[in-house]
Amino acid sequence: MSEHRGRLVLLPQNRVHRLYAGGRTLDAIAGAADPRDSDRPEDWIASVTESSLAPDGARPDGASTVLIGGQQADFRTLLEEDPDYFLGPDHVRRFGAHPMLLVKLLDASRRFFFQVHPSQAFAREHLGTASGKTEAYHILGVRPGSGQPFLYIGFQHPPQPAELRRMVEQQDIAALERCFEKIPVAPGYTYLVPGGVPHAIGGEILLVEIQEPTDFVVRYEFSSADRAAPEATRFMGRGVDFALAMTDFSARPRERIERDHRCRPRNPTELGPGSWREELIGPEQTPCFRVRRAVLGGSTTLPGDGPRICIVTSGSLVAEAGGEAHALKTYDKFFVPAGLGPLCLTPGPRAEILECLPPLPGP
């Protein structure tokens, strides 16, 4: 696959069926003449992960078709045919030809279901997989005219397991909601939600979700607005005991959320005059993935330091690689192969990029 070497991988929208409504903002980003909410509120970016849901009995979606050298390609096939170039030899030795990362753009019109995902340890013991579903949220924007955006993260007022069982079995959502307090958020905020921590995303938020590459979920809530979760999707085909066993009942008061879950920029590194890169999530917070932000105030060369999924979160830029120049605007996405080397970026006149990286491959 030498014809693909030296080139950026461009990432068109990959809209995926979900059980909640949204996607109007994603329609607008794609240039739709009549943006509207639908059952495809998520854009799965550089994905080799399949959804656990299938619309109307169809084959599950989720895996990405990408653009490289002006041609469409199946992203999974691209990685399998040249894994050392796209992912790096160290990554391949530990993880094979899998990116070990799933990144999404989420555009919710309403609050998500109350839910929880397995931790890595739980997934290994009970699901026989290497990945659970620790995830992080980077807030991009809020729909015009909406109220204060918020997240629910962990129980601020934890119930006893028997109480949670009753709430779930009786669908006492009012009582379940009283176990949480709203965590106000704003564009630029980043939060980490480890596996096992109950949570929900408030409505009318556009965000980037960075997560382990699975679609594992247990739902405490079986319906939201006019959407209902089929019985098989509530507890991953299991029972309420499975949901309770997955749940972290620790109390997470607001000060703990700010200390342990809010991820503030740190470790800035200068890239050139008016340009720098900073870490949002590193190995100290989770071994599951890494997240950085690059701020570009002038022509900048990003060093080649591993594979990464990049989202232009503000401004516009021109990215030059392999003799090709790509004009990218806000919310455009691209994948940087491990073997690409330094990447020349020219903002117009300023831009910000969110860089999402897989776990460190280790020694």
Write down the domain spans for the chain: 2-261, 266-357
- Give the confidence band of 323 by pLDDT, cuts at 50, 70, 90: confident
Tokens 């021109």, located at residue: 318
And the tokens for 153? 């993260």
Query: Does the pLDDT at position 2 exceed 70?
Result: no
User: What pLDDT, on the 0 to 100 scale, is given for residue 355?
Assistant: 98
Going from the C-alpha of 322 to that of each of 3, 4, 45, the distances in angstroms are 10, 9, 22
- What is the tens place of the pLDDT at every residue in 117-163? 999 999 999 999 999 999 999 999 999 888 899 999 999 999 999 99
Report whether 110 contacts 21 (CB < 8 A): yes
Domains 2-261 and 266-357 alike in fold: yes
- What is the tens place of the pLDDT at every residue in 151-200? 999 999 999 999 999 999 999 999 999 999 999 999 999 999 999 999 99
Contacts of 107 (CB under 8 A, 6+ apart): 22, 23, 24, 25, 26, 41, 42, 43, 205, 206
d(CA 9, CA 24): 26
DSSP 120: H
User: What pLDDT, on the 0 to 100 scale, is given for residue 210?
Assistant: 98
In terms of Cα–Cα distance, which of 14, 9, 222, 181 is closest to 106?
A: 14
Check: pTM over 0.85? Answer yes or no.
yes
d(CA 329, CA 327): 7
Q: Does CATH place domain 2-261 in 2.60.120.10?
A: yes
What is the CATH superfamily name and number for domain 266-357?
Jelly Rolls (2.60.120.10)
